[in-house]
Structure 1
Amino acid sequence: MSKVIMKLDELSCPSCMAKIEGALSGTKGVTSAKVLFNASKAKAEFDDSQVSADELVAKVESLGYAVQSSKVKEI
């Protein structure tokens, strides 16, 4: 299992948080996803044989949220 932490541009509402969590959680290979509203961070744990951190970043960006590329950390 791998983990990724993404620093997002400021989230404007709790529904944004739910939208991102839902999209990440619904991605094949993701075992858990959590968005920290006040910290503007998204965290995901995933099976890197099924999905990559770059694909998860792209998923968040496809929803219209900017991910600060210098602040993506894969663990």
Structure 2
Amino acid sequence: MTKTVIIIISHVYEIAISFATVRELVNNHSSDHLLAFYDLGSAKVNLEMVKELSNKSITIYDVPIVEVSYTAAALL
């Protein structure tokens, strides 16, 4: 059984998160099912492109990042 994990794509540490950075994060993760949260529109665009090109199951959430990612973590 594959573990479901949460990833958060945020501009806190890097301005303009690149497609390559998001792809590397997703591809290097051992899980096949990722719950993805993002903070800004460019992160969403990159997540959507990675989702289209990845073999992994990625669920992208369009929600307030702090409140909902905390709740999702509590429910895993």
Structure number with higher relative contact order (C-alpha < 8 Å, ≥ 6 residues apart):
1
With normalisation by structure 2, the TM-score equals 0.30
Q: Which has the larger radius of gyration?
A: 2
Structure 1 or 2: more helix by fraction: 2
With normalisation by structure 1, the TM-score equals 0.30
